[in-house]
Chain A
Amino acid sequence: MATVFAAYAWLVPVLPLAAFALLTAFGRSLRTTGAWVAITASLGSLVLALLIAGERLAGAEDYSQSFDWLVFGTATLSIGIDVTNLTTLMMVIVTVVGFLVNVYSYGYMRDDERMTVFYAYVSLFLASMLGLVLADNLLMLYIFWELVGVCSFLLIGFWYYKPEARDAAKKAFIVTRVGDLGLLIAVLLLFWYMPGHALDFSSINNVFGNDGGTISAGVTTLIALLIFLGAVGKSGQFPLHVWLPDAMEGPTPISALIHAATMVAAGVFLVARTFVIFEASPAAMATVAAIGAFTAIFAATIALAQNDIKRVLAYSTVSQLGYMMLGLGVGSIVAGMFHLFTHAFFKALLFLAAGSVIHAVHTQDIREMGGLAGRMKTTAWTFGIGALALAGIPPLAGFWSKDAILAAALEQNPLLFVVGAVTAFLTALYMSRLFYMVFAGKPKDGSHAHESPAVMTVPLVVLAVLSVIAGFVETPWYGWFGEWLTGESAHHAGYLAMIVATAAGLLGLYLGWLIWQKGTIDGKALAARMPGLVRVLERKYYIDEFYDLVFVRSLRRLGHALRRFDAVVVDGVVWLAAATAQAVGRLNTRMQSGQLQGYLLAALFSVVILVLAVAGRRLW
């Protein structure tokens, strides 16, 4: 099959970029027209992405296109696009969620003064994210990687008049920078060690596919770990996860698009894209699996004790990203990417539904919500579907992808499997808590909640449908997705993983139902019996406090010391130079008094000195 549409793949990121340029140029004079420009551009990208995907499903060849960007010495930096099954999958995810979020935002941001600015940022984000996905070499990927970081920063701090939003934006930017630095060093190391300084993915595949070629095992491990550090920063994995929950200060559609479905998944995508490097280093693989598993269970426990609807979902995102990393770490690229694929839909759905709730009740505290199911039927239904999908209840999408990861983990390491199963149980528990506290029970007094407009609910319905059906592309009996993605069918460990996952999910839901709906188990009494644990969970294991104490304070102290050095020493030297010149000038001004007698006196003294000098020289 010929590649017809793939040749136009470069248009996919360029369309939103054009929308961004248009919106920035014409600014506020556009208002609602601006929104339509952005929506149309994302629709164009979506259609093109789907056409390319259709072509690839029919079995088209991989397509790539690149041209030289910089040539220096023997090295060449190129810029280009790569259309493979992996990038096409990501492209479809990004454009689908991007388009739906664009539509949804039209309702959510309607009352905002700076709606066109918002759409401009979102368009820029989509362009950079698609550029990241399509990039055919690591350097280009890194550039777009930074660009999505900038967009994330801009959009978290979109409501910059809120101090929390400003702080969250700065925190997100600074924390992810730590990871980005790792990725940058990895790119530089690759540039140094790769034959011919090639950075494109096909060369990387060739070199590392053949046992690392000339590159030693130690360097390979180092590069893999540094790349993973970048992924840890972007995907909110354990040591660097702190920015993601705070990022929920941004508008909710942004949380859905950037901080749930696409940008945070970029880390997972990066590991999948450079998977050969990881495969060449068992130590790096083990690290990925361990960090992923730990993050999954760690974030899930925190989500259990949060009271902000978006924060619960944010920790859930961190946990699910850990799941994806776990899937990759145990060697199954299919499982990781499959979970990324399904998670994008149901987590975006959950966030958008949460946004619909927030839009209606004007609070994010779930303790102040309740009984919304009666008034917001569509939102409640779609949220419920999303929650079930996330909890891994068959036959929804989350079940199949989670099962794939658990099955892969079981083959590799039973401990990882147990951690994954416990996480699945916790996930179901906190999702049922969230659902019952928000939608069930009696409505709180004085709430005038009402269903959101169709422009917001239709994307919810579309995502709900996707959350139901997306899982069927890869089941234990039908491994089509895996074959399409990697060319070999994924292995499944039979029914054990499936039964355990289902049981864990159902148990979590049942327990949640008992505690928060039926009241058989008194949740408050349970919490009162272990106050220490509850407090630790509510304070998120004191990680923020720890970082504040260790890094923020010491760095700030260093900053203060440096500032004092600057003020005293550097400024002092400059001040001294200026003061000297000034003093000389002042002396000269005083001499230029305009008084004739003064001049004469000066002349007299000069003559006397001259005479003395001449006479003195003669005497000697």
Chain B
Amino acid sequence: MTLLGSYLTLAAVLFCLGLYGVLTKRNAIVVLLSLELMLNAVNLNLVAFAKYGMIPSLTGHIFTLFTISVAAAEAAVGVAILIVFYRRRVTVNVDEFDELRR
């Protein structure tokens, strides 16, 4: 049980680091990287529960694999959007992204 606790703690630390990066970093690339960090924290949780949870099973592992692949696709789409954005605005500074307001 203590082992699960340490895994969860690590995942929580990772998640908070990622969240901090997403909220504070100005560079959009770094924001995307931080997002990956948060996703991986979630993956770690899934795997930890799958191994040391109340009812260990393979579902968590499979789910994690899916998450990793979907995250890869998501990162690809995100970076693609970012590149298009950079071509139009010549900046990757998140502060200057206020298209949602218009």
Which residues on A are within 8 Å of B, measured CB to CB? 592-597, 599-601, 604
**B19, A604: Cβ atoms under 8 Å?**
yes
**B102, A601: Cβ atoms under 8 Å?**
no
Q: List 22 A-B contacts (CB under 8 A).
A: A592-B101, A593-B98, A594-B97, A594-B98, A594-B99, A594-B101, A594-B102, A595-B95, A595-B97, A595-B98, A596-B94, A596-B97, A596-B100, A597-B23, A597-B24, A597-B94, A599-B100, A600-B22, A600-B23, A601-B23, A604-B19, A604-B23
Main secondary structure of the interface of A (DSSP, over half): helix
Q: What is the bound-complex CA distance between A600 and B100, given in angstroms?
A: 13
Find chain A residues with CB under 8 A from B101 CB: 592-594
Which residue of A is nearest B31, CB measured?
A597
Which residues on B are within 8 Å of A, measured CB to CB? 19, 22-24, 94-95, 97-102
Which residue of B is nearest A598, CB measured?
B23
Find chain B residues with CB under 8 A from A600 CB: 22-23
Q: Chain B nearest CB: distance from A32 CB in Å?
A: 67
Main secondary structure of the interface of B (DSSP, over half): helix
Q: What is the bound-complex CA distance between A393 and B86, given in angstroms?
A: 111
Q: What is the bound-complex CA distance between A577 and B60, given in angstroms?
A: 57
Q: What is the bound-complex CA distance between A592 and B98, given in angstroms?
A: 10
Which residue of B is nearest A589, CB measured?
B101
Q: Chain B nearest CB: distance from A587 CB in Å?
A: 16
Q: Chain A nearest CB: distance from B74 CB in Å?
A: 16
Which residue of A is nearest B96, CB measured?
A595
Find chain B residues with CB under 8 A from A595 CB: 94-95, 97-98
Find chain A residues with CB under 8 A from B23 CB: 597, 600-601, 604
Q: Chain A nearest CB: distance from B39 CB in Å?
A: 15
Q: Chain A nearest CB: distance from B53 CB in Å?
A: 22
User: Which one of A592, A593, A594 has the greatest number of beta carbons of chain B within 10 Å?
Assistant: A594
Which residue of A is nearest B19, CB measured?
A604
Q: What is the bound-complex CA distance between A595 and B101, given in angstroms?
A: 8
Q: What is the bound-complex CA distance between A597 and B97, given in angstroms?
A: 10
Find chain B residues with CB under 8 A from A597 CB: 22-24, 94
Pick the residue among B22, B24, B100 that contacts A594 (CB under 8 A). Answer: B100
Q: What is the bound-complex CA distance between A593 and B96, given in angstroms?
A: 11
Find chain A residues with CB under 8 A from B102 CB: 594
Q: Chain B nearest CB: distance from A380 CB in Å?
A: 88
Find chain A residues with CB under 8 A from B99 CB: 594
Which residue of A is nearest B22, CB measured?
A600
Q: Chain A nearest CB: distance from B30 CB in Å?
A: 12
Known: A593-B98, A597-B22. 7 other contacts (CB 8 A): A592-B101, A594-B99, A594-B102, A595-B98, A600-B22, A604-B19, A604-B23
Which residue of A is nearest B97, CB measured?
A596
Which residue of A is nearest B95, CB measured?
A595
Find chain A residues with CB under 8 A from B95 CB: 595
Q: What is the bound-complex CA distance between A594 and B101, given in angstroms?
A: 4
Q: What is the bound-complex CA distance between A595 and B98, given in angstroms?
A: 5
Q: Chain B nearest CB: distance from A556 CB in Å?
A: 54
Q: What is the bound-complex CA distance between A593 and B95, given in angstroms?
A: 10
Q: Chain A nearest CB: distance from B56 CB in Å?
A: 27
User: Which one of A592, A593, A595 has the greatest number of beta carbons of chain B within 10 Å?
Assistant: A595
Q: Chain B nearest CB: distance from A499 CB in Å?
A: 103
10 tightest Cβ-Cβ pairs between the two chains A and B: A594-B101, A594-B98, A594-B100, A597-B23, A601-B23, A600-B23, A597-B94, A595-B98, A592-B101, A593-B101
User: Which one of A594, A596, A600, A601 has the greatest number of beta carbons of chain B within 10 Å?
Assistant: A596
Q: What is the bound-complex CA distance between A24 and B98, given in angstroms?
A: 62
Which residue of A is nearest B25, CB measured?
A597
Q: What is the bound-complex CA distance between A604 and B102, given in angstroms?
A: 23
Q: What is the bound-complex CA distance between A595 and B26, given in angstroms?
A: 11
Q: What is the bound-complex CA distance between A540 and B100, given in angstroms?
A: 79
Which residue of B is nearest A595, CB measured?
B98
Q: Chain A nearest CB: distance from B89 CB in Å?
A: 14
Find chain B residues with CB under 8 A from A604 CB: 19, 23
Q: What is the bound-complex CA distance between A593 and B102, given in angstroms?
A: 10
Q: Chain B nearest CB: distance from A36 CB in Å?
A: 70
Find chain B residues with CB under 8 A from A599 CB: 100
Q: Chain B nearest CB: distance from A536 CB in Å?
A: 79
Which residue of A is nearest B26, CB measured?
A597
Q: Chain B nearest CB: distance from A605 CB in Å?
A: 11
Q: Chain B nearest CB: distance from A289 CB in Å?
A: 85
Q: Chain A nearest CB: distance from B82 CB in Å?
A: 13
Which residue of A is nearest B99, CB measured?
A594
Q: What is the bound-complex CA distance between A161 and B18, given in angstroms?
A: 80
Find chain B residues with CB under 8 A from A601 CB: 23
Q: Chain B nearest CB: distance from A433 CB in Å?
A: 87
Q: What is the bound-complex CA distance between A148 and B95, given in angstroms?
A: 75
Q: What is the bound-complex CA distance between A595 and B100, given in angstroms?
A: 7
Q: What is the bound-complex CA distance between A600 and B95, given in angstroms?
A: 13
Q: What is the bound-complex CA distance between A596 and B22, given in angstroms?
A: 10
Q: What is the bound-complex CA distance between A597 and B99, given in angstroms?
A: 13
Q: What is the bound-complex CA distance between A596 and B96, given in angstroms?
A: 10
Q: What is the bound-complex CA distance between A600 and B21, given in angstroms?
A: 12
Q: What is the bound-complex CA distance between A596 and B99, given in angstroms?
A: 9
Q: What is the bound-complex CA distance between A216 and B95, given in angstroms?
A: 90
Q: Chain B nearest CB: distance from A604 CB in Å?
A: 7
Q: Chain A nearest CB: distance from B92 CB in Å?
A: 13
Q: What is the bound-complex CA distance between A599 and B94, given in angstroms?
A: 13
Q: What is the bound-complex CA distance between A453 and B81, given in angstroms?
A: 96
Q: Chain A nearest CB: distance from B59 CB in Å?
A: 26
Q: What is the bound-complex CA distance between A596 and B24, given in angstroms?
A: 11
Q: What is the bound-complex CA distance between A596 and B19, given in angstroms?
A: 13
Find chain A residues with CB under 8 A from B98 CB: 593-595
Find chain B residues with CB under 8 A from A593 CB: 98, 101
Q: What is the bound-complex CA distance between A594 and B24, given in angstroms?
A: 16
